[in-house]
Amino acid sequence: MYNFHMPITTGSIRAYYDENTSLFLKFSGRKKAQNIHRSLWMNDTKTLEDALNTTNALIKAEIESAASQNARIADLGCGVGASLFYIHPRLRKPAPAFGLTLSPVQAKLAGKSAMQLGLQDKIRFAEGNFTSVPLPGKTLDAIYSVEAVCHAVDPEKYFREANRLLRTGGRLILVDDYQAQRPFTKREKKWLDAFIEGWRVPGVRTVEQTKNFASKYKLQLRKNDELTPYLRLRNLPDFLASALLFLGEKLPIQHAIVPSILGSMALQQCLYMKVVEYRLLVFEKFDHGR
């Protein structure tokens, strides 16, 4: 039986993605490098491909506002590279980009896709922790992370590293889940805990907590947009979801896909109850004189 209540560590998060990535891609039903993040359905969105790339388009616009050309960018928590494969070719004369993932399985798949797309000289991928990035300081115009900082065991260290990497005026772009700024009922806390444990996301914080982490490292919040209304929620009646959670935790299956499925269900309940909000946050690095 899978231990749902094991401590969440960097190693357990790496194992979660090493075990699940091939299944995530298989479930997508598509052969090319695929976004593992959620789809956003804006008013003019017509296809799933467009919905999956909405986040990428939002990030691209923010990058262009920081550097209209020759942008130096990094995707920290890049998965299998799909966001970079969308964004980088659409920028104006971009510098070579960098993608970092905790999972060696994902890093290998991303590198293979870069070769297939002829982008191996323009986008470099590596395995590593985004609290210690193998790049020199003050060299990036923009850093972005999609559904990644939520996995940080100590999210403050992420912002410290972003400060080190960004030039003054550079942008940090985050698309992620944030806890609502209010007390939770016992029922709401149950679903939040199930989401955190199932998806291995110990770094889920409120926007205010995130803002405080960032401010400590000279990163000032410039944009805070809620994206939850553009998700297509699939929440269940509470009694049914609770029964499935109970039964799922009893299944004698040793694969990380089980907690992932239960975590996905819990996330839907959290989003529906507004315990968790899906948001775009954009920070700008400032210097002492500002």
- For each of the domains in the chain, give its residue range(s) and CATH number, in order of start: 10-178+202-232+275-285 (3.40.50.150)
Tell me how far apart the alpha carbons of residues 114 and 125 are, in angstroms, rounded to a whole number: 9
pLDDT at 56: 96
Whether this model's pTM surpasses 0.75: yes
How many residues does the structure list for the chain?
Answer: 290
Residue written as tokens 């939040």? 192
Mean pLDDT, each 10-residue run in order, the chain (290 residues): 71 95 75 74 92 95 97 97 97 98 97 96 97 97 98 97 98 98 97 97 98 98 98 96 93 85 97 98 83
Give me the phi and psi of 153, to 5 degrees please.
Answer: -65, -35
Order of strands, sheet of 97-101, starting from the edge strand that comes earlier in the sequence? 123-127, 97-101, 73-76, 140-146, 166-179, 276-285, 219-226
Quote the pLDDT of residue 24.
86
Alpha helices in 67-206 (DSSP H): 82-87, 104-116, 155-165, 186-199
> Cα(236)–Cα(252) distance, rounded to whole angstroms?
24
Q: How far is it, in rounded angstroms, from Cα 262 to Cα 151?
A: 17
The pLDDT of residue 106 is 97
Task: Give strand pairing partners of 124.
Answer: 98
**pLDDT at site 33:** 45
User: What is the predicted pLDDT for the residue at 5?
Assistant: 64
